[in-house]
C-alpha cells in the first residue's frame, strides 16, 4: 500500500487533494503536511494523520517521510501569481528552494514526486491559441519563473537520478471548499460567491480575456491519474498541458445568469492581474496528456456552474445557520 505525503495540505488544492487521496488509498495512508498558522481543521484534521511540514526545511521533510514511510509526495506548497509579484524572494524560496529540498529527500528515500506547474509557465511570446505542449516558455512573472524552473528541476532529477517526477500545468482551478489566495484566475471562483450571496460582482479582468480554467474534481483526477499512469507510456513528464474549458468573464457571467437572472457584474480592471492574464494562453492543446495517460475531463462550464451554485448555497446556508445558533 502506498503512503502519501501532501505538502501544503490546507491550501486550495491540497485540502481537497488530501481528502481524495484518503478516499482512494485509505485515511491512515495519507499525511496532511501543513505549516504553523495554517493548521488543518474539521474533516481534514480528523480523518487522518497530519504533521507540520515546512517545505523550506529539508530535515523537517525528511523526518516526516521517514516516520510515515512515505513513497509518494504531492508538493503543493507555492505562492500564486499576484502574491508572488509582491513577494518574489519568498516565492522563489518556497517554490524552488522548497522543491529542491523535496527532490533531495525523494532521491534519498525513493519517493515519487508531483509538483504542479501552471498556465503561468508561459509568457507573451508563447502561441496563445492551442498552446502546444512543447513551445516557448518565457514568462515575465516571478510565479512563471518558478514554474518553469520547477519543470526543469523536476526533469533534471528524473534524468540524472531516476526520481519519478511527474506534473501538470494547471489552469485556473475553480472550487467551493477552500478559497484560492492571490491568483490571477481567482475571479472565476469569487464570481460564484458573489452570485450566491446576491451581491454585484466587480470583475478585475477585462471582457474578452480568455484563460484556461478547470473544476476541482477534474484537477484532482488529473494529478492522481498522472501519478498512477504507466511510466512506459510517458514521453513527457514535467509538465503536461491539461485543459478542460476556456472562457472570458462575460461567458462565466452568462452561465451563472441562466440560473440567477438578476445577478449583476461590472468591470473594474486590475492592471496587474490583466497584464498577467494577457501574457497567458487563451487555451492550451492537451493532446499529449490525452495520448500518454488518457486525460479526459468530465466537467463543462455549464455542469460546473450548476454544481458550484448548489454546493455554495449549501455551504453558505450552513455557515449562516451555525452563526445564528
Ligand atoms: N491559478 C493560478 C493563478 O492565477 C494560475 O495557475 O495564479
- Ligand 1 lined by 204 (C-beta under 6 Å): no
Grid coordinates belonging to 92: 522563489
Residue 139: all three cell numbers together: 514568462
Q: Last residue of some domain: 241, 256, 286?
A: 241
Residues 112 and 248 in one domain: no
Atom of ligand 1 nearest to the CA of 180: 1
Using only C-alpha atoms, the chain has a radius of gyration, in whole angstroms, of 19
* 54-97 confidence digits (pLDDT tens): 999 999 999 999 999 999 999 999 999 999 999 999 999 999 99
* Domain co-membership, 64 together with 114: yes
Instruction: Name the grid cell of 95.
Output: 517554490
Minimum CA distance residue for ligand 1 atom 1: 172
Residues 145, 97, single domain; the answer is: yes
Same domain, 60 and 143: yes
> Is there an atom of ligand 1 within 6 Å of 205 CB?
no
- Domain's final residue, options 241, 256, 290: 241
Separation of CA 218 and ligand 1 centre (Å): 16
Q: CB neighbours (10 Å) of residue 79? A: 23
CA dihedral 297, 303, 305, 306 (to 10 degrees): -140
- 30 shares its domain with 43: yes
Per-residue pLDDT reduced to its tens digit, 275-300: 999 999 999 999 999 999 999 999 99
Ligand 1 centre and the CA of 110: distance in Å?
Answer: 30
Q: Provide the pLDDT for residue 1.
A: 64
Confidence of residue 324 (pLDDT cuts 50, 70, 90): confident
26 falls in which pLDDT band (50, 70, 90)? very high
Residues 122-149: tens digit of each pLDDT: 999 999 999 999 999 999 999 999 999 9
- Nearest alpha carbon, ligand 1 atom 6: 118
Residues 320 and 229 in one domain: no
Residue 228 and residue 182 share a domain: no
**CA-wise closest residue to 146 among 174, 175, 115:** 115
Q: Rounded distance, CA 315 to CA 207, Å?
A: 29
Facing residues of 247 across strands? 211
DSSP class of 229: S
Question: Are 138 and 150 within one domain?
Answer: yes
Q: What is the CATH number of the domain that holds 187?
A: 3.40.50.720
CA distance 15 to 27: 14
Three-state DSSP at 52 gives strand
SS3 state at 262: coil
**Is pLDDT at 325 greater than 90 in this prediction?**
no
Residues 19, 178: contact at Cβ < 8 Å? no
Selecting among 34, 68, 74, 143, the annotated active-site residue is 143
Based on the domain organization, do 23 and 144 belong to the same domain?
yes
| 94 and 198 together in one domain | no
Name the grid cell of 174: 475553480
| For ligand 1, atom 5: residue with the closest CA | 172
Q: What rounded mean pLDDT belongs to the chain?
A: 97
Q: Is 116 in the pocket of ligand 1 (CB under 6 A)?
A: no
Q: What is the Å distance from ligand 1's center to 259 Cα?
A: 27
Q: Total domain count for the chain?
A: 2
Which ligand 1 atom sits nearest the alpha carbon of residue 171? 6
Residue that the C-alpha cell 472570458 belongs to: 248
Residues 167 and 182 in one domain: no
Output the pTM of the full model: 0.96
Q: Is the CB of 184 inside a 6 Å radius of any atom of ligand 1?
A: yes
Q: Is the CB of 157 under 6 A from ligand 1?
A: no
Asked whether the beta carbons of 213 and 172 are under 8 A apart, the reply is yes
Average pLDDT estimate for 139-160? 98
Q: Is 172 in the pocket of ligand 1 (CB under 6 A)?
A: yes
Whether residue 116 is predicted with pLDDT greater than 80 in this model: the reply is yes
- Please give the average per-residue pLDDT across 117-122, as a whole number: 98
Do 202 and 159 meet the contact criterion of CB atoms below 8 Å apart?
no
Does residue 175 have its Cβ closer than 6 Å to ligand 1? no
Residue ranges in the chain assigned as alpha helix (H): 12-25, 42-46, 58-67, 81-86, 88-92, 98-109, 142-161, 187-197, 216-228, 249-257, 271-279, 287-293, 301-324
Q: Rounded to the nearest 5 degrees, what angle is found at the Cα of 227, between the Cα atoms of 222 and 228?
A: 100
CA gap 119, 130 in Å, rounded: 12
* Residue 289 Cα to chain centre, angstroms: 17
pLDDT of the residue at 323:
74
Task: Kindly give the distance from the C-alpha atom of residue 73 to the centroid of ligand 1, in angstroms, as a whole number.
Answer: 21
Q: How far is the CA of 169 from the centre of ligand 1 (A)?
A: 10
Cα(171) to centroid of ligand 1, in Å?
7
Q: How confident is the model at residue 182 (pLDDT cuts 50, 70, 90)?
A: very high
Q: Which residues constitute the domain of residue 206?
A: 173-213+244-324
- Order of strands across the sheet with 240-241? 117-118, 168-170, 240-241
Q: Residue 157 has which C-alpha cell? A: 532529477
pLDDT mean over 219-248:
98
**Which pLDDT belongs to residue 317?**
85
CB 218 within 8 A of CB 299: yes
170 lines ligand 1 (CB under 6 A): yes
The reply to whether 143 belongs to the active site is: yes
Q: Is the pLDDT of residue 5 over 80?
A: yes
Amino acid at each position: 500500500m502506498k503512503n502519501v505525503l501532501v505538502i501544503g495540505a490546507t491550501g486550495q488544492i491540497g485540502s481537497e487533494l488530501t481528502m481524495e487521496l484518503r478516499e482512494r488509498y485509505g485515511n491512515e495512508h495519507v499525511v496532511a503536511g501543513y505549516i504553523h498558522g495554517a493548521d488543518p481543521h474539521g474533516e481534514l484534521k480528523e480523518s487522518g494523520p497530519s504533521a507540520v511540514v515546512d517545505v523550506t526545511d529539508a530535515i523537517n521533510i525528511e523526518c516526516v517521510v521517514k516516520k510515515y514511510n512515505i513513497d509518494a509526495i504531492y508538493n503543493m506548497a507555492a505562492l500564486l501569481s499576484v502574491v508572488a509579484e509582491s513577494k518574489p524572494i519568498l516565492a522563489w524560496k518556497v517554490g524552488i528552494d522548497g522543491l529542491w529540498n523535496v527532490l533531495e529527500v525523494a532521491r534519498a528515500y525513493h519517493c515519487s514526486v508531483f509538483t504542479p506547474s501552471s498556465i503561468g509557465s508561459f509568457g507573451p511570446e508563447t502561441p496563445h491559441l492551442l498552446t502546444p505542449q512543447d513551445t516557448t516558455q518565457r514568462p515575465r512573472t516571478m510565479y512563471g519563473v518558478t514554474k518553469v524552473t520547477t519543470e526543469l528541476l523536476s526533469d533534471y532529477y528524473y534524468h540524472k537520478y531516476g526520481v519519478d517526477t511527474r506534473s501538470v500545468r494547471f489552469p485556473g482551478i475553480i472550487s467551493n471548499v477552500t478559497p484560492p489566495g492571490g491568483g490571477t484566475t481567482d475571479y472565476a471562483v469569487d464570481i460564484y460567491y458573489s452570485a450566491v450571496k446576491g451581491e454585484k460582482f466587480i470583475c478585475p479582468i477585462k471582457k474578452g480575456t480568455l484563460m484556461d480554467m478547470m473544476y476541482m474534481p477534474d484537477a484532482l483526477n488529473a494529478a492522481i491519474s498522472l501519478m498512477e499512469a504507466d511510466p512506459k507510456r510517458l514521453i513527457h513528464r514535467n509538465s503536461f498541458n491539461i485543459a478542460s474549458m476556456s472562457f472570458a468573464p462575460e461567458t462565466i457571467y452568462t452561465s451563472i445568469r441562466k440560473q440567477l437572472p438578476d445577478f449583476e457584474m461590472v468591470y473594474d480592471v486590475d492592471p496587474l492581474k490583466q497584464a498577467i492574464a494577457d501574457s497567458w494562453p487563451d487555451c492550451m492543446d492537451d493532446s499529449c496528456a490525452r495520448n500518454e495517460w488518457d486525460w479526459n475531463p468530465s466537467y463543462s462550464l455549464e455542469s460546473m456552474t450548476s454544481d458550484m451554485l448548489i454546493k455554495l448555497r449549501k455551504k453558505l446556508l450552513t455557515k449562516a445557520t451555525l452563526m445564528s445558533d
